[in-house]
Amino acid sequence: KNQVEQSPQSLIILEGKNCTLQCNYTVSPFSNLRWYKQDTGRGPVSLTIMTFSENTKSNGRYTATLDADTKQSSLHITASQLSDSASYICVVHVAGTYKYIFGTGTRLKVLA
Amino acid sequence: DSGVTQTPKHLITATGQRVTLRCSPRSGDLSVYWYQQSLDQGLQFLIHYYNGEERAKGNILERFSAQQFPDLHSELNLSSLELGDSALYFCASSIPSGTSGDTQYFGPGTRLTVL
């Protein structure tokens, strides 16, 4: 069964600290993996998209990694800011289809 | 601002009623996706349209239906509403790159409350 699991469910960190969010998937066949940031009550915004051949991709203070062999991805946030408080959603695209499998997200809270 | 607009922003209605949610995609985008997000739940894919044609269906109930019009805007119709249908409904649009995936731009959502 195609699934995307994220951990932790929630995370609280102090402003300025780094953190890493995890995403494990069992989606097959795999096309690409994306990370979205969703502020409360708003639509998700794309942070990164990685295909099978890409190991890492950065977007400012956000760096995503992908290990297609172990089917794991991580999103690393550097020098966190209060505005990073949001849910981070991992999404995997099923190759050859128009289907996207969403994780339930990690809710991050950054405290001053 | 993603360029995707959704109306209305909020909708309050009673059980058994029918509502229509509207989505206007970004200029030039041919694909429209609909998602449901219940309280503290992840996004659930409902349905995908490309240039007026249905391309994929997800966990969409039979009480729900959608269409995409020639001007590319889309409507999601929810009927015989139940309390459990209360959720945020998001629309996303994209210029698809075939079946290799595309970047979806999400609208601000419509918050539906069924009383």
Question: Per residue in B52-106, pLDDT tens?
Answer: 999 888 889 999 999 999 999 999 999 999 999 999 999 999 876 554 557 889 9
pLDDT digits (tens, 9 = 90+) for B3-25: 999 999 999 999 999 999 999 99
Pick B55's closest partner by Cβ from A98, A103, A104: A98
Kindly state whether A93 is in contact with chain B, defined as any CB-CB distance less than 8 angstroms.
yes
**pLDDT mean over A18-36:** 95
- HSE at residue B75, side-chain half, CA atoms within 13 A, is 9
Which pLDDT belongs to residue B37?
A: 92
**φ/ψ (deg, to 5) at B112:** -100, 125
**pLDDT mean over A26-47:** 92
| Cβ under 8 Å to B: A residues 4-33 | 31-32
Residue A110 to chain B, least CA–CA distance (Å): 19
Evaluate if residue A61 carries a pLDDT over 90.
yes
Residue A77 to chain B, least CA–CA distance (Å): 21
Closest residue in A to B2 (Cα) is: A45
Instruction: Report the distance separating Cα B109 and Cα B23, nearest Å.
Output: 9
- HSE at residue B17, side-chain half, CA atoms within 13 A, is 13
Kindly state whether A1 is in contact with chain B, defined as any CB-CB distance less than 8 angstroms.
no
Residue B41 to chain A, least CA–CA distance (Å): 6
Evaluate if residue A43 carries a pLDDT over 70.
yes
Evaluate if residue B40 carries a pLDDT over 80.
no
For A92-112, the DSSP string reads: EEETTSS-EEE---EEEEEE-
Instruction: Report the distance separating Cα B63 and Cα B56, nearest Å.
Output: 17
SS3 B25: coil
Percentage of chain A modeled with pLDDT above 90: 79
What b/e string do you get for B18-51 counting C-beta neighbours within 10 Å, with b at 16 or more?
ebebebbbbeebbbbbbbbbeeeebbebbbbbbe
Instruction: State the pairing for strand pair A100-102/A72-77.
Output: unpaired
pLDDT digits (tens, 9 = 90+) for B45-67: 899 999 999 988 888 999 999 99
**pLDDT mean over A25-35:** 93
Which pLDDT belongs to residue A20?
A: 98
Chosen for mutation from B43, B57, B91 (greatest number of chain A CBs closer than 10 Å) is B43
Instruction: Report the distance separating Cα A100 and Cα A86, nearest Å.
Output: 21
User: What angle (nearest 5°) sits at the alpha carbon of residue B99, between those of residues B98 and B103?
Assistant: 75
* Average pLDDT of every residue of chain A: 94
Which pLDDT belongs to residue B39?
A: 79
Kindly state whether A57 is in contact with chain B, defined as any CB-CB distance less than 8 angstroms.
no
Kindly state whether A46 is in contact with chain B, defined as any CB-CB distance less than 8 angstroms.
yes
